[in-house]
């Protein structure tokens, strides 16, 4: 009986501990959403590079860059004028042989880290990256504390469960 | 211990409310520009009214000036324009326009109709200079100092309050 209660409490706490985990997923899931938009991209670009390899590289890079005009779309996905221009810019930079890092630097020089769907780890983004982990640690610590305390309580500290009152194994005094 | 049981959730709640309340007053469209405090990008563009004459970054060194990004197709620029025309009368600093992704004829018509606050407008037909300045929403306004360093950027339409309370004091400080 008491075991069942402990189990339930543990399950609830584990669930609440798992919630911050989902927050930790955000940067990664944003990136996978970006991958998806590349794959299911509408034929947005009226300008496309003749070289399919460059086009694919361009979409891969701009798929991880945020469009400044419609902020929840990637530059690969957006129909905004600026996004069309920036895709063309990236094509040209790729043709010149620039690396993905150089292109990302070109973007952050102009628009800041805000354009990156995968922000770098530094002072300003430490809370973003570490916050979910800290929350998880706090939740786990709370879980351990509660379970420990409860396991030391005598059974009569728990409310009797009426459905199981006839159970001979129940240690609850009548 | 009993008090803590109430205090901890209450504190967590209060902190959350604090964050949400702050969030209500933040504008997600205002992206902090990495260009502030950095030398302005290079540019060489023809004047809107004189296609034969080119203005370069080097020509602007030695004075504190305003670069106002506008276009004849831009709706918000219409709201901003009268304030800019009024502001230009103060002659507080040279005002240059960057006519962004526009065509010469409608742009010149737009200025003729609404008044021209600009010492000159730079004609950026393909928007390349706009991209170098990190422009993503027109209108945008930059204040650039004597060394060619960007000191201020306003995204969206200027208002009389911004011009009076932010731009003018900054220009006085940079010139002082």
A141 vs A6: which has the higher pLDDT: A141
Q: Is residue B21 part of a domain?
A: no
Asked if B42 reaches chain A (Cβ–Cβ under 8 Å), the answer is no
A18 and A87 co-located in one domain? no
Please choose, from the candidates A45, A66, A52, the residue with its C-alpha nearest in 3D space to the C-alpha of residue A94.
A52
- Based on the fold, state whether residues A52 and A111 are members of the same structural domain: yes
Instruction: Examine residue B158 and state whether it is found in any structural domain, yes or no.
Output: yes
Q: What is the pLDDT of residues B9-32, one digit of tens each?
A: 999 999 999 999 998 888 777 777
Q: Are residues A138 and A128 in the same domain?
A: yes
Q: What was the pLDDT predicted at A5?
A: 59
Is A34 part of a structural domain of the chain?
A: no
Domain span at residue A101? Answer: 41-120
Contact B137 A85 (CB under 8 A): no
In a domain, A174, yes or no: no
Residues 6 or more apart whose Cβ sits within 8 Å of residue B136? A68, A69, A82, A111, B31, B155
Closest by Cβ to A111, choosing from B101, B127, B134: B134
**Pick from B34, B131, B133: which is nearest to A108 by CB?**
B34
Would you say residue B131 lies in a domain? yes
Mean pLDDT estimate for chain A:
75
How far apart are the CA of B89 and the nearest CA of chain A, in angstroms? 32
Q: What is the pTM of this model?
A: 0.70
Q: Which of A3-17, B52-66, B92-106, B135-149 is predicted least confidently?
A: A3-17
Q: What is the CATH number of the domain that holds B94?
A: 3.40.30.10
Cβ atoms < 10 Å from Cβ of A83: 25
**Among B134, B78, B132, B138, which Cα is nearest to B102's?**
B138
- Quote the domain boundaries for residue B153: 37-175
Residues of B in contact with A71 (CB under 8 A): 28-29
* ipTM of this complex prediction, to 2 decimal places: 0.77
Question: Is residue A32 one of the residues assigned to a domain?
Answer: no
B35 to chain A: closest CA residue: A110
Number of folded domains that form chain B: 1
Burial class (CB in 10 A: 0-12, 13-18, 19+), A54: middle
CA distance B74 to chain A (A): 13
Question: What's the domain count of chain A?
Answer: 2
Per-residue pLDDT tens for A42-83?
444 456 667 888 899 999 999 999 988 877 889 998 988 889
In three-state secondary structure terms, B2 is helix
């Amino acid at each position: 009986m008491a075991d069942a209660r402990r189990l339930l409490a543990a399950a609830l706490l584990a669930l609440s501990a798992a919630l911050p985990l989902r927050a930790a997923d955000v940067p990664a899931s944003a990136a996978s959403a970006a991958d998806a938009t590349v794959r299911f991209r509408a034929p947005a670009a009226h300008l496309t590079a003749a070289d399919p390899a460059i086009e694919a590289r361009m979409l891969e890079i701009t798929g991880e860059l945020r469009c400044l005009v419609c902020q929840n779309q990637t530059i690969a996905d957006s129909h905004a004028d600026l996004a069309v221009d920036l895709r063309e810019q990236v094509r040209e930079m790729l043709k010149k042989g620039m690396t993905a890092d150089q292109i990302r630097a070109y973007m952050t020089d102009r628009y800041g880290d805000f354009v990156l769907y995968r922000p770098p780890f530094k002072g300003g983004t430490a809370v973003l990256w570490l916050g979910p982990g800290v929350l998880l640690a706090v939740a786990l610590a709370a879980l351990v504390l509660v379970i420990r305390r409860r396991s030391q309580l005598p059974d009569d500290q728990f409310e009797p469960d009426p459905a199981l009152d006839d159970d001979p194994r129940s240690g609850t005094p009548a | 211990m009993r008090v803590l049981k109430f205090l901890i959730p209450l504190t967590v709640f209060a902190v959350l409310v604090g964050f949400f309340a702050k969030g209500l007053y933040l504008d997600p469209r205002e992206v902090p520009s990495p260009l502030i405090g950095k030398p302005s990008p290079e540019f060489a563009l023809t004047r809107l009214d004189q296609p034969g004459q080119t203005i370069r970054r080097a020509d602007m060194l030695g004075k504190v000036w305003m670069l106002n990004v506008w276009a004849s197709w831009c709706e918000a620029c219409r709201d901003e324009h009268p304030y800019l025309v009024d502001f230009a009368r103060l002659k507080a600093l040279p005002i240059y326009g960057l006519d962004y992704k526009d065509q010469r004829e409608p742009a010149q018509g737009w200025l003729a109709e609404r008044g021209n606050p600009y010492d000159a407008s730079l004609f950026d037909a393909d928007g390349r200079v706009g991209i170098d300045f990190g422009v993503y929403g027109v209108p945008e306004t930059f204040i650039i100092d004597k060394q060619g360093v960007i000191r201020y950027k306003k995204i969206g339409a200027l208002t009389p309050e911004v011009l009076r309370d932010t731009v003018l004091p900054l220009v006085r400080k940079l010139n002082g």
